[in-house]
């Protein structure tokens, strides 16, 4: 499993000494103890098991990366777990696909609200529309990635 | 020297007042810029989590449109673009444009021009954006960030320190309940700081904190434009906030 994670960009998990610097800094753990980066890495390196915790709960704030004394990069492990779970058929949160769909539609990840549209007009801000050729290129990149 | 302005999706679709503030600032300090029409979303973590390759290709496409140093107004865009450009530069052995986050850009400009603005007496609690600071990209001190605070001081505001200052706002957590719990925790810390408003340079932090905070949440560009004399109404500065200021 470790080699599969590394293929997906995970850092050097075997250097982990289970000190818990990641978990004690983790903001998600502070509101819900179930999410525990130390245990996520522990279950992989000690038990060779896919952790049962949901990698999509991570806020990606990277404080675990900054504070890890062993330079393990726990975030990279969590991101690799997202990819592996996706490949194993575990659906990511629907929000992820909504963002991707929106990029395919307009080139931007968020839709323009009516309120913002009116405000843009009253402030004299430029039109948002992306040219057709560019949008085609963006769509192509995303559809070739399977989206 | 001309710059490439990259405003990012959230600011353009949700916060036109911030976009207006950015144009005001750039105009007033005399920075020439272009905004490539064909640039797309830089696809930060949602997409990146599923396909690193798609993320990289989207930003390789963006990079081809950028002819000069890229000024980002959202720190999430800063992180996504600079991480992608670094990989592309190593992979293809090519020169890539520099990416500059708004806070750093302001500090450099204010220092270069020796600018200091009149005292406004407004107390500001900074919501430091995670992706500007971590993992360290040599923009600011990751454990004791000072860039935005120094800019605020030069603009005439009072940066205040508070407990949990480095904590993430939770804006990129996909699970709603957890995201809200983290936001409320952060909003509480900000409210206890005694500040009149919250200031950030990340549009995700803005959106997340605006949803829960009783304090006004502003982008640094708005306060920069205000100090430089822009029309408060156009850049989204409320009457209530103006009344709290000395020399508004």
Give the mean model confidence (pLDDT) for residues B148-154: 98
Distant-in-sequence, close-in-space partners of B64: CB < 8 Å, separation ≥ 6: none
Instruction: Answer whether residue B97 shows pLDDT above 90.
Output: yes
- The pLDDT assigned to B246 comes to 87
Instruction: Answer whether residue A129 shows pLDDT above 90.
Output: no
- The Cα A20–Cα A41 span in angstroms is 10
- The pLDDT assigned to B44 comes to 83
Q: Is B48 on the interface with A (CB under 8 A)?
A: yes
Contact assignment for B9 to A65 by CB distance below 8 Å: no
Contact assignment for A65 to B135 by CB distance below 8 Å: yes
Q: What residue segments make up the domains of chain A, in order of their start?
A: 2-87, 94-144
- DSSP-based helix, strand, coil % in chain A, nearest 5: 60, 0, 40
- The Cα A61–Cα A74 span in angstroms is 11
Q: Is B218 on the interface with A (CB under 8 A)?
A: no
- The pLDDT assigned to B47 comes to 81
ipTM of the complex: 0.94
Report residue A17's pLDDT band, with 50, 70 and 90 as the boundaries.
Answer: very high
Instruction: Answer whether residue A65 shows pLDDT above 90.
Output: yes
DSSP code of residue A126: P
Contact assignment for A147 to B43 by CB distance below 8 Å: no
Q: What is the count of residue pairs from A and B with beta carbons less than 8 Å apart?
A: 164
The string of pLDDT tens digits covering residues A70-94 is 999 999 999 999 999 999 999 999 9
The string of pLDDT tens digits covering residues B158-175 is 999 999 999 999 999 999
Enumerate the residues of chain A whose CB falls inside 8 A of the CB of residue B172: 59-61
Instruction: Answer whether residue B248 shows pLDDT above 70.
Output: no
Domains contained in chain B, CATH given: 3-103 (3.40.50), 115-243 (3.40.50.11810)
Q: Is B112 on the interface with A (CB under 8 A)?
A: no
- The pLDDT assigned to B49 comes to 87
- The Cα B97–Cα B89 span in angstroms is 10
The string of pLDDT tens digits covering residues B124-145 is 999 999 999 998 888 999 999 9
DSSP code of residue B196: S
Closest chain A CA to residue B128: A61
Rounded (10°) CA dihedral B4, B8, B13, B15: -90
The string of pLDDT tens digits covering residues B1-32 is 799 999 999 999 999 999 999 999 999 999 99
Q: Is B134 on the interface with A (CB under 8 A)?
A: yes
Enumerate the residues of chain B whose CB falls inside 8 A of the CB of residue A116: 13-16
Considering the segment(s) A2-87 as one domain, its CATH architecture is: Orthogonal Bundle (1.10)
Q: In the predicted model, what is the mean pLDDT of chain B?
A: 95
Contact assignment for B38 to A131 by CB distance below 8 Å: yes
Of B10, B50, B135, nearest to A86 by CB-CB distance is B50
Give the mean model confidence (pLDDT) for residues B176-188: 96
Cα Rg, chain A, nearest whole Å: 20
Report residue B202's pLDDT band, with 50, 70 and 90 as the boundaries.
Answer: very high
Task: For residue A111, give how far its alpha carbon lies from the nearest alpha carbon of chain B (Å).
Answer: 6
Give the mean model confidence (pLDDT) for residues A14-28: 97
- The pLDDT assigned to B54 comes to 95
The string of pLDDT tens digits covering residues B34-48 is 999 899 999 987 788
Contact assignment for B173 to A137 by CB distance below 8 Å: no
């Amino acid at each position: 499993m470790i080699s599969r994670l590394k293929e997906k960009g995970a850092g050097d998990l075997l250097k982990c000494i289970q000190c818990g610097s990641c978990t004690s800094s983790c903001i998600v753990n502070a509101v819900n103890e179930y999410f525990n980066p130390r245990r996520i890495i522990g279950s992989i390196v000690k038990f060779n098991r896919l952790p049962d915790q949901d990698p999509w709960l991570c806020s990606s704030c990277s404080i675990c990366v900054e504070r890890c004394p062993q330079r393990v990069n726990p975030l990279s492990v969590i991101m690799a777990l997202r990819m592996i779970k996706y490949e194993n058929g575990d659906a990511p949160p629907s929000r992820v696909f909504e963002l991707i769909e929106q990029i395919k539609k307009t080139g931007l990840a968020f839709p323009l609200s009516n309120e913002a549209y009116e405000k843009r007009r009253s402030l004299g801000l430029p039109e948002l529309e992306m040219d057709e050729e560019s949008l085609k290129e963006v769509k192509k990149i995303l559809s070739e990635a399977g989206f | 020297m001309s710059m490439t302005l990259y405003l990012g999706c959230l600011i353009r679709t949700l916060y036109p007042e911030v976009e207006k503030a950015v144009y005001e600032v750039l105009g007033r300090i005399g920075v020439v810029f272009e905004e490539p029409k064909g640039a797309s979303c830089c696809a930060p973590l949602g997409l990146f989590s599923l396909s690193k390759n798609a993320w990289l290709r989207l930003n390789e496409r963006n990079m081809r449109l950028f002819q000069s140093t890229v000024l980002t107004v959202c720190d999430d865009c800063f992180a996504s673009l600079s991480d992608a450009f670094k990989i592309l530069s190593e992979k293809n052995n090519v020169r890539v444009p520099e990416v500059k986050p708004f806070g750093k850009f302001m500090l450099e400009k204010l220092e270069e021009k020796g600018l200091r603005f009149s005292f406004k007496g407004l107390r500001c609690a900074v919501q430091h954006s995670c992706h500007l600071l971590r993992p360290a990209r040599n923009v600011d001190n990751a454990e004791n960030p000072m860039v935005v605070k120094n800019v605020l001081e030069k603009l005439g505001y009072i940066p205040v320190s508070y407990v949990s200052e480095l904590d993430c706002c939770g804006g990129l957590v996909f699970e709603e309940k957890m995201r809200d719990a983290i936001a409320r925790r952060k909003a509480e810390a900000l409210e206890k700081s005694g500040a009149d408003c919250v200031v950030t340079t990340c549009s995700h932090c803005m959106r997340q904190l605006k949803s829960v905070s009783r304090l006004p949440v502003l982008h640094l560009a708005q306060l920069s434009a205000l100090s430089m004399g822009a029309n408060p109404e156009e850049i989204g500065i409320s009457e209530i906030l103006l009344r709290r200021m000395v020399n508004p």
